[in-house]
Structure 1
Amino acid sequence: MRAGELARVAEVTVRALRYYEKVGLVVPVRLPNGYRDYDPVAVRQVREIRELTSLGLSVEETRPFVECLASGHGSGDECPASLAAYRHAIDELSVRIVRLTQRRDALAGHLRAAAERSIPKGVQPFSAGYGLDGRPVRCDPPIPSDDGTADRLAGVRLPNVTLPASDGSTVALTALGAGRTVLYVYPLTGRPGVDLPEGWDTIPGARGCTAEACGFRDHHEELVGAGAARVYGLSSQPGHYQREVVDRLRLPFTMLADPEFAVRDALRLPTFPAGGLTLYRRLTMIVSRGVIEHVFYPVYPPAQHAFEVLDWLRTHPESTE
């Protein structure tokens, strides 16, 4: 096989092929007329180099894989040296990720410090942080009012609804188990780089879902110590979204997905429209023996709500009767 044909079949340039030959990865046979002739296995070798370099390996780091194919193996990563090369590349990436994360956090700290220096004394930025332009978010969202829609929930038994959970299991609300359950319902958790619904900051009680989740995370051990047998977060976001939130925020509890609003329909929970979506209003239920014992509604500010629940649990020990 001539160089031009090999380059075309393997989808590389002739120049790249010449380089692979120069460093000894692909070695042709010289014909009497001086032309290079490549063995058919060279197609697989060149494709292996192309694929591995697209994953970030250097050309030299592909050598064990190329040699593995040259020795007659069906795949370039069937040899011990190839597996070792994988591990080495992964280890190097892990070190780079740690260093990049440290650099990012240091830069973020400088950004926050610089942004705070630009705020006049006596003016505090909203706890959500800073916008994409590096400026602190200064406007507090409107406070939600109590519209009375949750007044009838205390004493109501949870419905026979089963929801998918972020850990891959399902949770039946009628079989939560012994002890108290803290079930906090919220609109949606934003993702970095993904726009929230239009007008989000102007909707009373909409903002602050990530801060609320982090509050329950940071006070989780204390909540358990105060009598909460389990904590669940619930929103209408799908299961894969909930799993991402648990991983990203390192939540020690499970999130439930209710995209069909089964709980809303059974309990007539309050919702609101935003950006073409229907979302749950923020509320928290304390459940005991399958019955809603207490309801927090409206919830404000979200970042302090976990402590509010903790204080209630401590001052209202569960009856043993």
Structure 2
Amino acid sequence: MDAETLTVSEVCALTGATRKALRGYEELGLLTPRRAANGYRMYDAHQVRLVREIRQLNELGIPLSHMRPFVDCLNSGSAHADACPATLSEYRRAIERIDDMLTVLSAKREALVASLSTASRRLLEKMRDVDAANPRLVLPARLPEPEDDGAADHLPGQRLPSLALPSTDGTDIDLAALGRGRTLIYVFPMTGAPDQDMPDGWDAIPGARGCSAHNCDMRNHYADLVQAGVRRVFGLSSQPIDYQRLLAETLRLPYPLLTDEDLRLARDPGLPTFTAAGLTLYRRQALLVKDGIIEHVFYPIFPPDRHAETVLRWLARNP
């Protein structure tokens, strides 16, 4: 296409800029398109390059009000928008602004983490008597300890699939879109209900008993996990979402529980399962996911009521 006759629509399509942005560049004197006989704005190849450079620099943090040195540098015939001394000063100023923002944000994060810790302690104090009256939180002596059967050895390094799981907060969580940073997903077989007996021989199955205690342990150390750098925490089992929601409310969990009723994660990426009383359930395990990839797997987990301490020790060794 002839660069001498590019219209506003064509420039927008080529550069990704909006019509509003082009008007703004023009109002600030950064861009001076020619006018056709019919009054329409027309842009040549140099104008298109200016638009691209302005957008890229603006995305990096250079305000439009500080863009003049870069535009003047290109207009002077320079091969690069930042090849002039004045542009280096603008880079430095932009870096200083970002450093200032990081300092402020870091201070706010520390204050929020401190507030989270204080609020968490208050919640745990309120739950102390409730937990003491919950018989499911008392684990029998001499529970059989699960052995590492190697069923999770293949998981580290795998990327989580694009799978939207129902969450107790009313949303669907796409496991492939957890975002940057570390996410902890701890997986438990099933918890009991007042009107539902556990499968026969449940306590004799290594790693089966202790799901309520496991959830409470993670709840009790939630603030510690956040302080250690975990961005998000989820519990996960194959129980129906309504049951998961009741469990989260009863135990006062400060993070959502996820439901995988169809055991789709048993197929991809292949989470270990076991069978009890005709039910196929997930084995107790925990995935530490970083940037969408399984970074570390805790498996097997024992005892379930002290698993958070194991995670925190690992995080301390791998900050």
TM-score > 0.5 by shorter chain: yes
What is the correspondence of 1:152-163 to structure 2 with a 5 Å cutoff?
A: 152-163=154-165
Deviates more, 1:212-221 or 1:308-317: 308-317
Instruction: Report what 1:314 is aligned to.
Output: 316
Q: What corresponds to 1:276 in structure 2? A: 278
Give the C-alpha shift of residue 127 in structure 1: 8.5
- Matches of 1:138 and 1:162, distance apart in 2: 36
| Distance in 1, Cα, partners of 2:137 & 2:177 | 36
Q: 8 Å contact 2:228–2:316 — kept in the other structure?
A: yes
Count of residues in correspondence between the two structures? 191
Structure 2 unaligned spans of 5+: 1-128
Q: In 1, distance between residues paired with 2:266 and 2:196?
A: 26
For the residue of structure 2 that corresponds to 1:152, the secondary structure is coil
1:219 partner letter: H
Following TM superposition, by how much is the alpha carbon of 1:184 offset from its aligned partner in structure 2, in angstroms? 0.6
Q: Which residue is equivalent to 1:263? A: 265
Normalised by the size of structure 2, how large is the TM-score?
0.57
The two structures have a TM-score, normalised by structure 1, of 0.56
Cα deviation per residue 1:81-136 (whole Å; 9 max; x = unaligned)? xxxxxxxxxxxxxxxxxxxxxxxx69x87xx9xxxxxxxxxxxxx9943xxxxxxx
Kindly state the Cα deviation for residue 267 of structure 1 after the two structures are TM-superposed.
1.2
Residue 197 of structure 2: aligned partner: 195
Q: Which residue of 2 aligns with 1:287?
A: 289
Query: What's the offset of the Cα at 1:250?
Result: 0.1
Task: Determine which structure has the larger helix proportion and give its number.
Answer: 2
Q: SS in structure 2 opposite 1:195?
A: coil
Alpha-carbon distance in 1 for matches of 2:258, 2:204? 26
Partner in structure 2 of residue 54 of structure 1? none
TM-superposition CA deviations, 1:129-151 (whole Å, max 9, x none): 3xxxxxxx754221100000111
TM-superposition CA deviations, 1:253-286 (whole Å, max 9, x none):
1000000011111112111111221100011010
Shift of 1:313: 1.3
Residue 246 of structure 1 and its aligned partner are, at CA, apart by 0.5
Alignment of 1:72-221 (within 5 A): 128-129=137-138, 138-221=140-223
Which whole-Å CA distance do the structure 1 matches of 2:314 and 2:141 have between them? 30
Cα-to-partner distance string for 1:149-168 (whole Å, 9 max, x where unaligned): 11111111111111000111
CA contact (8 A) 2:136 2:212 kept: no
**Equivalent position amino acid for 1:208 in 2:** G
Cα distance in 1 for residues equivalent to 2:275 and 2:142: 20
- Secondary structure class of the residue paired with 2:305: helix
5+ unaligned residues in a row in structure 1: which ranges? 1-104, 113-125, 130-136
Aligned to 1:26: none
Letter of the structure 2 residue corresponding to residue 251 of structure 1: L
Q: CA deviation at 1:194?
A: 2.4
When structure 1 is superposed on structure 2, of 262-271 and 213-222 the one drifting more is 262-271
Trace 1:32-71 onto structure 2 (pairs within 5 A). none
